[in-house]
Amino acid sequence: MSHYLKKSFVLGGALSLAALSVQAESFNWASKTDPQTMDPHAVNSTPVLSFLNNIYEGLVRRAPDMSIEPSLATSWEPLEGENGWRFNLREGVTFQDGAAFTSEDVMFSYERASSEAADTRSWFSPVTDVRIVDDYTIEFLTNSPNPLFPSSIANFMILDSDWAKSNDAVLPAKDSENFATLNVNGTGPFTVASRDPGVKTVLVPHAEWWDTPTHNITEATFTPIGNSATGLAALLSGDIDFIEPIPLQDVEQVESRDGFRVIEGEETRVIMFGFGHEHDTLLYSNDVTDTNPFTDPRVRLAAAHAIDIASIDRVLFRGKIEAASQLVPANISGYSEANQDRPAYDPERAKELLAEAGYPDGFSFGLKCTNDRYINDEALCRAAASMFAAVGLDAQLSTGPVRDYWEQLRADDFDMYLLGWSPGTFDIEHPVRFLLHTQDDEAKLGSWNFGNYSNARVDELLPLILKELDPAARQDMIDELVKITQDEVAYIPLYTQPLIWAVKDNIDVTQRADNFFMLRWVTVN
Amino acid sequence: MLDFIKRHEGLWLFTHSPSVMIAAIVALAILIGAVFAPWIAPVDPYDLSSFSLMDGLLPPVWEEFGTSKFPLGTDDQGRDMISSILYGARLSLIIGVCAMAIASILGVGLGLAAGYIGGRFDAVVMRIADIQLALPAILTALLIDGIARGILPPELRQDMRVVVLTLAIALSLWVNFARTARASTFVQMNKEYVQAAMMQGQHPLRIMFVHILPNILGPLLVIMTVDLASAILLEATLSFLGIGLPADSPSLGTLIRIGMQFLLSGEWWILWIPTLFLIALVVSINVLGDFLRDVFNPRLR
Amino acid sequence: MVFFLTKRLIQSVFVMLAVAFLAFSLFRYVGDPVSQMTGVETSVEDRERLREDLGLNDPFVYQFVRFTGDLLKGDFGYSYRTRQPVAEMIASRIPATLELGLVALMISLLVGIPAGVYTALRPRGFATQTILMLTLVGVSIPTFVIGIMLIFFFGVQLGWLPTFGRGGTVSVGGWETSFLTIDGWRSLILPALTLGVYQLTLTMRLVRAEMMDVMQSDYIRFATARGVPMGRMYFRHALSNTMVPVITIIGLQFGGVIAFSIVTESVFQWPGMGLLFLESIRFVDIPVMGVYLVVIAFFFVLVNLIVDLLYVLIDPRLRISDVS
C-alpha cells in the first residue's frame, strides 16, 4: 500500500503546487461511510458514486436541481431511423495524467462498466450496441425507444483506456484488488493525493479541468466517522468543516451555536411498509395461523389508516419530514399529482375495515425493521407498532442491522416490513420496475418486490411507460398505475426522508436531492 | 458458635458503616422496585397500546411543560420513564445475576479443577479459555444468536433474545473466574493444610470445595461483584454495538443506548435518569460486595 | 523448559485453528456479503454469479479448509469491502490498537497498583473511601457514555483535545506511531483514559484485595513482630506476594484492553483493528473478520504464554505443578 501512496503523493504534490497560486483553502469533511473503492464501476452505491463524482465524470451530469446538463458530452440527440442516442463529445478534455479524452475512452468505459465484473451493468441492459462515429461522436443503440437513457447514465463515469490497460485494470476488481481500486485518473475537478482506506482520503484540484472552477478549495480531506455523536463533536470543536448527516434531534443544538449552520432538504427516498402479498399464512402470529389477513386489501388499508404521520413527524422527526402518498416524492418526474392524497389517520375507520374483513378484534403479526439503515428507523417502527396496537393490530416488532436484513426479506421471512426506496433514475419508473412489477428474474424486474405484489395491469403499463415519448400520454398511464397501487394498498408509503447537513458558517455548499456531495460547489469564505 | 460470631460481627460492621447501610437500602429499594415492577409501575411499557406518541418527549414534572402524569417525563415514544426504568432494572438484574451465576459456576469449577488436577486437564481448560478470550463478547453474542436463529422457530426468536444475551455475557465472563481460581489454587496447593488433607486421603472434590474454595473466595468475591456490574454494562455495550435487546423491551442498558441519541438535544432526562439509576445500582452492588468480602473472608478472621 | 515451550506452541496452533473454525462457523449468521457488495440495481443473476465466484456456495467445511490452507501458505485473501489485501489492511491497523492498549494499560497499572496498595493499608481512611467511590462510579457508566462525555467536555466545550482519530503520526520503519508527535499524544489522551478507567478500577481492587489478604498472613505478622520497617515490609514482602494474581490480571487486562478497544475505537473513530473489525461486521467482510480473529487469538496465546512463564520466574514453587 505504501507503494501506491508514495506514488500518488508525488502526483498530488505536483498538482497542489500548481494550485498554490490561488489562495490556499483547505476543507475537511466527514460522512458515515468510507467509499469502499476508487473504481467507478465496481460498486453501485451512493457513498462510492457520490465520492467519485468529484474525480470522474460522465457524458452528462446533474445540476443542483437534479436536471441533466452537458458534461463530457456537449450535446446529444435521438438517432433517426433506429432506437438509440448520439452523444457529441467535448474536445480538449484531458485526464488527470494528461492523456486526451476521446470516444475510444467512452467505448472502453462502456465495455468495462457493462462487463460481468462490474456492478453497474444493469444501467446498460437496454443497450444493444455502441458505435464510434469519430473521435468525438459516439452512438448508443437501445432495444426500444428509450427517452430516459441519457439521464439514466449520469453516473456512468469515464476512465482513460490507456491508463487502465497499462495498469492492468481493464476490468473492475471483484474479489481481489487492482490498480483502479486505490488509484484514480478521471477528467473531473479533483484527484486523489493520498488515500488510507477507512481513515482518510485527501483530494486536490485537477489544474487542467475543462470547466471553470466555482470552488476555491486547494485541498480537501475526507474522514469517515461512523458514530454520529463523534461526528457532531468533531464539527462543533472545529476539527471538520462539514458533516452529513447529523441526527435530527441535534439540529437545534447546532443552529443555536455561533458559527454553524444546518442545511435541510428533502431526499428522494420514500420510507414505506411492505406486505407479504403472496404468503399463504402469517409467520409470526399468535392467533391467526391458517391464513394471511394481509392478502385482503381492506386489512392493508386499515393498517394505513392506523398510522398517524403528523405525530411521527412532530415527535420523532421534529417536523422535518414530508408525508408520502406514493413511492416517489413530488420532485421526481412522473409523480402523480392526481393521486397525491394518502389514507388519513383514522383509527375508527381502521377498526371498521378490520371488522368488515372478519377481524373485529384484530390479530397479531410480525413487523421487520432495520435499526441502522434509515433515519430513526427503529423509533419509527416502535411508534408504528404502538399505533397498530391502538386499532387491534398487534405487531411483534423485530429490529436488526441491515447486514442480514435483505437476506431475510429475500427468504420471505416477514409478515410486514420496512423499506426505503430512492429512485435511481429520478423517475417514477424506477420504483415501479423494482417494487411494483411482479417478480421476474429473467426480465430483471421486481427484484425488490419482496412480498411479490402482482397486478397484470401494472405489469402491462410499465413497458409502455418506459417507451412513451409524449409526456402527457405517459403521465396518464402513470396516473392510472399509481391509482391501482393506491387502491390495492400495494405498500403503505409513509414519508420522504429528510437530508440534514451541517456546516461551519464560513462554508457555502450546495445540497442536491440525491445526497451527492459535490466539492466543486464548495466555497470557503 | 463461629458462625454466630461471624454473623454477629457482620451485623456490627453493618450498622457501623453508613455507606454500607445506604448501599443496602438503595440496592434493596431497586430490587423491590424491579421484582414488583408489574405492580408498582404506572404503566406496562411492554404493552404498546398503553402509551402514545402524542405524549412523547415530555420533561420531568419539575421542569417547564412537565406533567404529574409522568413524574420523570417520557421518552421519544411517549413511554413513562419510571415504568421503563423499573422494568429495565428488572431485566438488567435478571440478565446480570444469571450471567454472573453461570459464569462463576462454570469458571470457578473449571479453574479449581484445573489448578488441582493440573497436567493435561489444566492445559485443555486453559486453551479453551484462550479460545474464549480471543472471541470478543460481540462475536460470542453473534455466535449464540446465530445458533439460536438456526435452531429456534421464528416466533420464539424474539423471546429468546434475553436468554441468548445472558449466555453470551456469561460465556465472555467465565474466563476471569477460571483463571483467577486456577492461579489461587496453585498457591493454596502448596499450603500445609491442603497437603495434610491430601495425605489423609480425603476425596479430591472435598479438598477442592471444602478446603481450597473458602480460601480463594477473597479475589473471587471481588471478581464476582465487579463482574455483576460488568455483566450489566456489557449488556448495554452490546446494545450500543447493535446486538443487544430490542428497544421495545428495554433493559437499563438499552434505555441508556436510546438516551444517548438525546445527549445534546435538550431532552437530558431520557439519558441521565436511567444512567443515574444504573450508577446507583452498580455502585451499591459493589459496596455490598466489598462488605460481604470483608465479612466472609476467613483469612480476615 | 524447552519441552514446556514446545508443548505450549503446539497447543497454541490448535487454539488458533479452533478460533478460526468457530469464527468461520458463525460467519454465515452475520449476514449476506453479496447484498453488501452490490448495489440495489444489481440483478438476481449477477448476485448469484458473484456468490459463486466468491466460493460462498461451497460446503462449509470446504470453505474452512480453503481459508486455513491459504492462511498457512501466507495468503490472507482480499477484503470483500475494499478489495484490498487483508494482510495489509490489518497490518496497517495494528500499531494504532497496540499503542492505545499500551497507554491504557500503563494508566491502569501506574495508577491502579499504588492506589490499591494505599487503600489496602488505610482501609478506613477518608481518602480511601473517596477513591473507592469515585472509581466505582467510573466503572458504573458504560464506556461509550464516558467516551462521548469526555469528547464533549474536553473536545467541544474546552476545545483542548482533538475529538477523533490519531492526529499526527510518524512512520518508523513502517510502524505508524503516535508517540513521537505532540499532536499524536494529544489525540491519545481521551481514548486511552476511556479505555483505561475500567481496567484501572479492576487493578486497584484486585491489588487491594490481595494486599489485605497478605497483610493478615502469618509471616507478615511475624515480620511486624520482628520489627521489620513498615515501608520495606509493605513493598518487599507484602506487595511481592501479591504479584501472582496481579500478573494474571495484567494478562487478562491486556485481553480486556484489546476486546474493549472495539468500543473505544468506535467512539473515537480510532483507526485500529477494533474499528476495522466493526466495519467488517457491518459489511459482512468475511476475510477480514476471519484474519482479525486469528490475529487476536495469536495475541492472546502469546500473552498467556508470557504470563505462565512469569509465574515460573516469580514463584519457583509453581514450577513443579505447572511444568510437570
Tell me how far apart the alpha carbons of residues C91 and A328 are, in angstroms, rounded to a whole number. 45
Nearest Cα of chain A lies from the Cα of B248 at a distance, in angstroms, of 7
The string of pLDDT tens digits covering residues A104-124 is 999 999 999 999 889 898 899
Q: Could you tell me if residue C22 is inside a domain? A: no
Determine which helix (DSSP H) or strand (DSSP E) holds B116, and give its type and residue range.
helix B81-117
Q: Could you tell me if residue C46 is inside a domain? A: no
Domain that holds residue B139: 13-300
The string of pLDDT tens digits covering residues A184-228 is 999 999 999 999 888 999 999 999 999 999 999 999 999 999 888
Compute φ and ψ for A348, nearest 5 degrees. -65, -45
Contact call for C31 and A447, based on CB within 8 A = no
The string of pLDDT tens digits covering residues A297-335 is 999 999 999 999 999 998 889 899 999 999 999 989 999
A288 near A389, Cβ under 8 Å? no
Whichever domain contains B255, its CATH number is 1.10.3720.10
The string of pLDDT tens digits covering residues B69-104 is 888 888 888 888 999 999 988 988 898 899 999 999
Which cell numbers hold the place of C247?
Answer: 500478573
Q: Could you tell me if residue C121 is inside a domain? A: yes
- pLDDT, residue C10, reads 83
Q: Give me the domains of chain A, ranges plus CATH numbers.
A: 10-259+505-524 (3.40.190.10), 267-498 (3.10.105.10)
Q: Given a cut of 60, is residue C324 above it in pLDDT?
A: no
Domain that holds residue C247: 86-282
On chain C, the residues whose CB falls within 8 A of the CB of B103 are none
Tell me how far apart the alpha carbons of residues A170 and A184 are, in angstroms, rounded to a whole number. 13
Given CB atoms, is C157 within the 8 Å cutoff of chain B? no
- Residue A196 pairs in a beta bridge with A200
Q: Could you tell me if residue C39 is inside a domain? A: no
Which cell numbers hold the place of C35?
Answer: 447484498
- Residue A427 pairs in a beta bridge with A333
Instruction: Select from A45, A372, A401 the Cβ nearest to the Cβ of C39.
Output: A45
Tell me how far apart the alpha carbons of residues A40 and A56 are, in angstroms, rounded to a whole number. 8
Question: Could you tell me the CA-to-CA distances from C22 to A54, B41, C8, C293 in Å, in that order?
Answer: 43, 43, 21, 10
CA atoms within 13 A on the CB side of A310: 7
Poorest-pLDDT segment among A252-261, B229-238, C158-167, C286-295: B229-238
- pLDDT, residue A280, reads 93
Cβ contacts of B160 within 8 Å, gap of 6 or more: B148, B152
Q: Given a cut of 80, is residue B293 above it in pLDDT?
A: no
Residue type, C314: I
What DSSP line would sit under A80-121, residue for residue? SSSSEEEEEEPSS-B-TTSPBP-HHHHHHHHHHHTSTT-TTG
Contact call for C78 and A45, based on CB within 8 A = no
The chains found to touch C (3+ Cβ pairs under 8 angstroms) are A, B
**Interface mutation target, options C54, C81, C84, C267, chain A, most CBs of A under 10 Å:** C84
Contact call for C155 and A233, based on CB within 8 A = yes
- pLDDT, residue C241, reads 67
The string of pLDDT tens digits covering residues C243-265 is 666 776 677 677 767 767 888 99
On chain B, the residues whose CB falls within 8 A of the CB of C26 are 139, 142-143, 146
Q: Could you tell me if residue B7 is inside a domain? A: no
Tell me how far apart the alpha carbons of residues C179 and C169 are, in angstroms, rounded to a whole number. 8
- pLDDT, residue C315, reads 63
Cis peptide before A245 (omega within 30 of 0): yes
CB atoms within 10 A of CB A26: 13
Tally the domains of chain B: 1
Instruction: Select from B52, B54, B158 the Cβ nearest to the Cβ of A398.
Output: B158
Contact call for B264 and A387, based on CB within 8 A = no
Q: Could you tell me if residue C11 is inside a domain? A: no
Contact call for C83 and A233, based on CB within 8 A = no
Which cell numbers hold the place of A416?
Answer: 410486514
DSSP tag of A372: S
Which cell numbers hold the place of A467?
Answer: 417507451
Tally the domains of chain C: 1
Contact call for A308 and B53, based on CB within 8 A = yes
Nearest Cα of chain A lies from the Cα of B169 at a distance, in angstroms, of 19
Tell me how far apart the alpha carbons of residues C102 and C192 are, in angstroms, rounded to a whole number. 9
Instruction: Select from A250, A390, A397 the Cβ nearest to the Cβ of B246.
Output: A397
Q: Given a cut of 60, is residue C46 above it in pLDDT?
A: yes
CB atoms within 10 A of CB C57: 10
Q: Could you tell me if residue B6 is inside a domain? A: no
Which cell numbers hold the place of A408?
Answer: 431475510
- pLDDT, residue B78, reads 84
Tell me how far apart the alpha carbons of residues C55 and C59 are, in angstroms, rounded to a whole number. 9
Instruction: Select from C50, C83, C283 the Cβ nearest to the Cβ of A37.
Output: C83
B206 near B135, Cβ under 8 Å? no
- pLDDT, residue B7, reads 58
Poorest-pLDDT segment among A275-289, C114-128, C236-250: C236-250
What DSSP line would sit under C178-234, residue for residue? STTSHHHHHHHHHHHHHHHHHHHHHHHHHHHHHHHHHHTSHHHHHHHHHT--HHHII
Tell me how far apart the alpha carbons of residues C151 and C162 are, in angstroms, rounded to a whole number. 8
- pLDDT, residue B42, reads 84
- pLDDT, residue A3, reads 43
Residue with cell 470547466: A211
The angle that helices C86-121 and C126-140 make with each other, rounded to 10 degrees, is: 150
Residue of B nearest to A316 (CA): B76
Q: Could you tell me if residue C182 is inside a domain? A: yes
The chains found to touch A (3+ Cβ pairs under 8 angstroms) are B, C
Q: Given a cut of 70, is residue B155 above it in pLDDT?
A: no
- pLDDT, residue C232, reads 67
Whichever domain contains C248, its CATH number is 1.10.3720.10
Residue of C nearest to A36 (CA): C82
Mean pLDDT of A437-456: 92
Instruction: Select from C263, C299, C315 the Cβ nearest to the Cβ of B241.
Output: C263
